[in-house]
Structure 1
């Protein structure tokens, strides 16, 4: 049985070069786009989206390469750059009639959201990031034994061939490891099965997404840092206390990117929209009121 977000309708929308995204849309009012993380799909917003839909048009896509969205070949190393994926989201919103929209992302989706805020400041009115640092900072703070939990970042950064072969040999074990490690029983069995099924069919595109984060995405962040390009819209960041675990000041890292920043360290786990949806809804509503 297909799992749906209550009250939402699903459709496919072509955004660029023939790439179509699977998207669930619900509600009416000012638009809010919600981007999922790894190894999830748009279903991670199943508790948050209906609440926001009471007074917003809520748009929940599967990112390119994930879920039921298209998974193009990465022939040039740019097909899964966050710049490309952010352009998808802007095109998706426009196709639905929205030139400007609020944007919230978790994990991988947060990296896409950050890039959208940097590349398309006139389109993104508000930005929320759940449990990541910007790409450039992520690589800066991962070092020594403390980097061990991020082994998958280093594995999928390798040249094409080895990561795809290793992960493809046991996809349920690989993706299930993160679902089980990072979850506090917030992901029921049927949703977990849906995430595994989606990831099983997306090994190459997921690896390409992560590989871009170790290559072209870093180049784009470095160029922005040199140019002084910053996030000019109101920004809310919710993070676990990764700074204490990895030895860095998370808020100061974020202040280097965002002028109007509300940075909060939270006690709930990585899959926070599934574990603590009421708190996430409140944080997003607080952001939208700024």
Structure 2
């Protein structure tokens, strides 16, 4: 499956919460955060490319993969909480400052980490997502159908968990199929489905947080004029044209030092276009 090239360890990030963390390589640290419905395994190609020059740190986010899945208390899956996890993982591995790259859900955690902990994040990259407030602003009309899962998992506890648990492979497999321009290797797809099937409740809690507490935190920051202080690279599909918004302009409002690039592939660009992603990260690290 390719994951065996990594070393794995359990890292405590909070009382009673440990994350599964994969590492490889040597050199300045780069933390990679996976998206939905995936695990750290999505970085297998990019990490192998960058490992010659960098220590690659790839946690499964809390609630995902083989990391702990604590019960939701309202703040458990706030991106602010998950951002602290990232800082704690890096510190546990001996790194006070690090570059940070996130895809999809992991990019939202990276965004919050950059806002809350600029003293720790040297460079930041986001793959194929908008900041939470902008995402909710652009998801309107019939074009919002592409994000139906956002609205489903934003509902109060109970309904989404019951519906998804009834057919988890059909639900999570849908996104692996329609968001990609290429098929996943069978063993990789099976691992993503296995991990997601075992994490329905915590995955829903993560998404619910993005419609509740994360909105509160991001709104407060936007009203205060908060911005990302570090160099930022954003890679996105050109889905802004279809939905009627300027993704680069939305990102630049948060990140003045921005390199915004359009990538011609599907959503899972670290697996569909790993060389482009690795090259963009290298470019970012020279800024």
> Which residue in 2 is equivalent to 1:66?
64
Residue 191 in structure 1 maps to residue 188 in structure 2: yes
**Alpha-carbon displacement from aligned partner over 1:152-208 (angstroms, at most 9, x marks no partner):** 000000000000000011000000000111122241111000000000000000000
> Which residue in 1 is equivalent to 2:284?
287
CA contact (8 A) 1:6 1:50 kept: no
How far apart, CA to CA, are the structure 2 residues paired with 1:250 and 1:175? 26
Number of residue pairs matched? Answer: 287
> Which residue in 2 is equivalent to 1:17?
15
TM-score (norm 2): 0.99
Residue 136 in structure 1 maps to residue 123 in structure 2: no
Residue 47 of structure 1 aligns to a residue whose secondary structure is helix
Query: Offset of 1:8 from its aligned partner?
Result: 1.7
The correspondence of residues 141-152 of structure 1 with structure 2, limited to 5 A, is 141-152=138-149
How far apart, CA to CA, are the structure 2 residues paired with 1:139 and 1:250? 13
CA contact (8 A) 2:35 2:106 kept: yes
How far apart, CA to CA, are the structure 1 residues paired with 2:182 and 2:143? 25
CA contact (8 A) 1:8 1:25 kept: yes
How far apart, CA to CA, are the structure 2 residues paired with 1:127 and 1:166? 36
Residue 163 of structure 1 aligns to a residue whose secondary structure is helix
> Which residue in 1 is equivalent to 2:178?
181
How far apart, CA to CA, are the structure 2 residues paired with 1:170 and 1:6? 29
How far apart, CA to CA, are the structure 2 residues paired with 1:225 and 1:213? 15
CA contact (8 A) 2:177 2:183 kept: no
Query: Offset of 1:101 from its aligned partner?
Result: 0.2
TM-score (norm 1): 0.98
> Which residue in 2 is equivalent to 1:90?
87
CA contact (8 A) 1:15 1:92 kept: yes
> Which residue in 2 is equivalent to 1:167?
164
> Which residue in 2 is equivalent to 1:42?
40
In the TM superposition, structure 1's runs of 4+ consecutive aligned residues that sit over 6 Å from their partners are none
**Alpha-carbon displacement from aligned partner over 1:266-289 (angstroms, at most 9, x marks no partner):** 211100000010110000000001
> Which residue in 1 is equivalent to 2:222?
225
Residue 272 in structure 1 maps to residue 273 in structure 2: no
Residue 233 of structure 1 aligns to a residue whose secondary structure is coil
> Which residue in 2 is equivalent to 1:256?
253
Query: Offset of 1:242 from its aligned partner?
Result: 1.7
How far apart, CA to CA, are the structure 1 residues paired with 2:183 and 2:28? 29
> Which residue in 2 is equivalent to 1:109?
106
> Which residue in 2 is equivalent to 1:28?
26
> Which residue in 2 is equivalent to 1:243?
240
Unaligned runs of 5+ in 2: none
